[in-house]
Amino acid sequence: MQALMMDMPLTITSIMQHADNNHPDAEIVSITADNPQHCYRYGDAFARIRRLANALHRYGIKPGERIGTLAWNDYRHFELYYAISGIGAITHTINPRLFPEQLCYIINHAEDRIVFVDILVLPLLEKLRAALKSLEFIVVLCDDKHLPETTLDNIQSYESFIAGESDAFDWPALDEGAASSLCYTSGTTGHPKGVLYSHRSTVLHAMTSLAPDVLGLSAWDVAMPVVPMFHVNAWGLPYAAPITGSKMVFPGPKMGDGEALQRLIEAEAISVSAGVPTVWLALLDYLARSGKALAALQRVIVGGSACPLSIITEFREKYGVSVHHGWGMTEMSPIGAVNTLLPGMEKLSPDELDKIRMKQGRAPYGIEMKLVDDEGRQLAHDGKQCGMLKVRGPWVCRAYYNLDEEDHAHDEAGWFSTGDIGNIDAKGYLQLTDRAKDVIKSGGEWISSIDLENAAVGHPQVAEAAVIGVPHPKWVERPLLIIVKNENEEISKEALLKWLEDKVAKWWLPDDVVFVDAIPHTATGKILKTELREQFKDYCLPDV
């Protein structure tokens, strides 16, 4: 028997309409290249979004068309999110930090006709222009006064693009399964692959993220996504906040700037923020040097890469901020797990609690996880057995955009292979130990590069650490620890190995330590292990 409940499609438009009706006065504050302090309210944003929707119609954008954005986190990017998806087109967020060849591939593959670009990214677009086959028109995120001199044709400022448009717009009824947004993964090998989100997946992901044990947003919160809007929709915050009416703060091009982040946190009374470990290291470094505090900040969600314990403890002990480790992927919209403690854990010792806090967290409702071994056999969730992590759920990618059948993302049973390796304990906490391609296989056993890196980075003189496997005649592979020291500080190989001695199993201790000036990163801030392996491909361990 069919139920008798209403069948309302879950669309991004419905989030906007809800926020417009219920939270028109909540504020949105942004730093942009043309304004260091832009402030307006949700109601103002939605009026401009309707003007933008009219402008996109006037330009002839059809449902299903991809519209590119090359932009930082700010109010105009927020407007693009809602106007593009709301008219049935697809918000294609592009990471300006990718290599030029990847950017050209992505824009050509998505066949973007229009790209909305930040002033600061315009010089990059000038360089790429000749290779962008589908591109017809460029809109620069500023007003006419700030439109830079450029060699590009068919270009207009955002403000003049929407000027003169009506702020009334009749939003079309959309199928909740229709594509709303597109984000390419920036793998270290092969071409980037497009993950095509739907209205439904975006809404379900946003609603789940609001749960207290996930991001726990409320109307009382002031939320600042430091994770970029070009990387998995800023972890869904621009969709989650309007559901509850949280004030939003967008740091624009200042995402990696500790001083600017501290200033925003203080001035705007930010209570919750989210970002990758690197930005928090920059903030903590600035706080230590300046002696400043973090006023209203209550919690920070850290993900994208393993969060070192030092970030968790420093935030808590010095600034009273609780850190929640989270895990996800572009293919998962991105939330896969978030770490919050469970009842009864308050009795655990500080060390035991830290061990739990370091884990990547528990799956929210909607995400199923399983671990399998090399033969595909399912492993127990006992916190010990490590295997390949597979997931499924309504906001997990089923197939990549416009790729052949064999590139489909899931197996016959509908599980997506994450490429991550880890264990899950009896309470459901996931602990990642590696990317499948980064794990070090020593004498047939796995050594976790993540655990070694986390332990090394906890040393006060270490700024960054990476571990790769290097060939060994007896053990096949052994770990090599690569270290960037803090500026003007000294530390020896022996002191580092001593530091690690009581933190990891003895046979995990790296066979050598090398000091470098910098460690290469991907465009999303992860350590670029492929490049490190290339750099150290002729490296010979001391005892070999």
334 forms part of the interface with ligand AMP (CB under 6 A): yes
Residue 435 as a binder of ligand AMP (CB under 6 A): the answer is yes
- Of 94-102, 114-122, 253-261, 323-331, the window that binds ligand AMP (rule: CB under 6 A) is 323-331
Catalytic residue list contains 406:
no
Nearer to ligand AMP, 135 or 457 (CB): 457
* Total of chain residues touching ligand AMP, rule CB under 6 A: 21
Q: Which of 305, 333, 340, 431 binds ligand AMP (CB under 6 A)?
A: 305
Give the span between the Cα atoms of 220 and 297, in whole angstroms. 12
Q: Does 185 participate in catalysis according to the annotation? A: yes
Q: Report if residue 420 touches ligand AMP, rule: CB under 6 A.
A: yes
Residue carrying the six token digits 């832009």: 38
- The answer to whether 217 and 270 have CB atoms below 8 angstroms apart is no
Min CB(155)–ligand AMP separation in Å: 30
Query: Alpha helices, DSSP H only, in 320-405?
Result: 350-357
Residue nearest to ligand AMP (CB): 330
Q: Smallest distance from the beta carbon of 193 to ligand AMP, in angstroms?
A: 10
Alpha helices in 116-228 (DSSP H): 122-128, 158-162, 199-209
Residue 266, classified by CB atoms within 10 Å of its CB into exposed (0-12), middle (13-18) or buried (19+), is middle
Q: Which stretch binds ligand AMP (CB under 6 A): 255-263, 266-274, 327-335, 508-516?
A: 327-335
Structure tokens at 236: 């869904």
Written as six digits, the tokens of 443 are 């004498």
Write each residue from 502 to 531 as x if it is in contact with ligand AMP (CB under 6 A), else as -, in one continuous string. Answer: ----------------------x-------
Task: Pick the piece of the chain touching ligand AMP (CB under 6 A) from 90-98, 214-222, 321-329, 534-542.
Answer: 321-329
Provide the β-strand partners of residue 485: 462
CB 453 to ligand AMP: min, Å: 10
CB-wise, 322 or 461, nearer to ligand AMP?
A: 322
Does residue 462 touch ligand AMP according to CB under 6 A?
no
Catalytic option among 11, 69, 185, 522: 185
The question of whether 313 is a catalytic residue gets the answer no
Residue 334: cis peptide before it, omega within 30 degrees of 0: yes
| CA 265 and chain centroid, separation | 20
Q: Which stretch binds ligand AMP (CB under 6 A): 42-50, 250-258, 303-311, 346-354?
A: 303-311
Q: Which of 242, 258, 304, 510 binds ligand AMP (CB under 6 A)?
A: 304
Contacts of 95 (CB under 8 A, 6+ apart): 184, 186, 228, 230, 231, 523, 524
- Please check whether residue 497 is in contact with residue 465, taking contact to mean a CB–CB distance below 8 angstroms: no
Nearest-CA neighbor of 83 among 106, 116, 113?
Answer: 116
Examine residue 97 and tell whether it contacts ligand AMP (CB under 6 A). Answer: no
| Binding of residue 233 to ligand AMP (CB under 6 A) | no
Q: Determine, following the binding rule CB under 6 A, whether residue 366 of this chain makes contact with ligand AMP.
A: no
Q: How much of the chain is helix, strand and coil, in % rounded to 5?
A: 35, 25, 40
* Shorter beta-carbon distance to ligand AMP: residue 23 or 357: 357
Residue 171 is among the residues annotated as catalytic for this protein: no
Among 201, 244, 360, 423, binds ligand AMP (CB under 6 A): 360
400 binds ligand AMP (CB under 6 A): no
Q: Does residue number 391 form part of the binding site for ligand AMP (CB under 6 A)?
A: no
Note whether 401 binds ligand AMP by CB under 6 A: no
Alpha helices in 129-274 (DSSP H): 158-162, 199-209, 232-235, 237-244, 258-268
Q: Which is closer to ligand AMP, CB of 242 or CB of 334?
A: 334
Answer whether 45's CB lies under 8 Å from 250's CB. no
User: Which of 360, 442 has the CB closer to ligand AMP?
Assistant: 360
Q: Of the two residues 275 and 304, which places its CB atom closer to ligand AMP in the complex?
A: 304
| Beta strand residue intervals within 49-157, DSSP E | 66-70, 90-93, 114-117, 137-140, 155-157
| Alpha helices in 111-168, H assignment, sequence order | 122-128, 158-162
A 10 A CB-CB count for 240 gives 27
CB 390 within 8 A of CB 416: yes
Measured CA to CA, the distance from residue 213 to residue 221 in angstroms comes to 15
Cβ proximity of 106 and 185 under 8 Å: no
Q: For ligand AMP, which stretch binds (CB under 6 A), given 60-68, 97-105, 305-313, 534-542?
A: 305-313
Catalytic residue from among 79, 331, 453, 464 = 331
CA 514, 520, 524, 530 torsion-angle sign: negative
Nearest 5°: the CA angle 380, 414, 111 is 130
Which of 33, 432, 462, 509 contacts ligand AMP by CB under 6 A?
Answer: 432
Q: Which stretch binds ligand AMP (CB under 6 A): 83-91, 155-163, 326-334, 379-387?
A: 326-334
DSSP 8-state assignment for residue 68:
E
- Determine, following the binding rule CB under 6 A, whether residue 357 of this chain makes contact with ligand AMP: no
**Residues carrying an active site annotation:** 185, 331, 441, 446
Give the interface with ligand AMP as residue ranges (CB under 6 A).
Answer: 185, 232, 303-307, 325-330, 334, 360, 418-420, 432, 435, 524
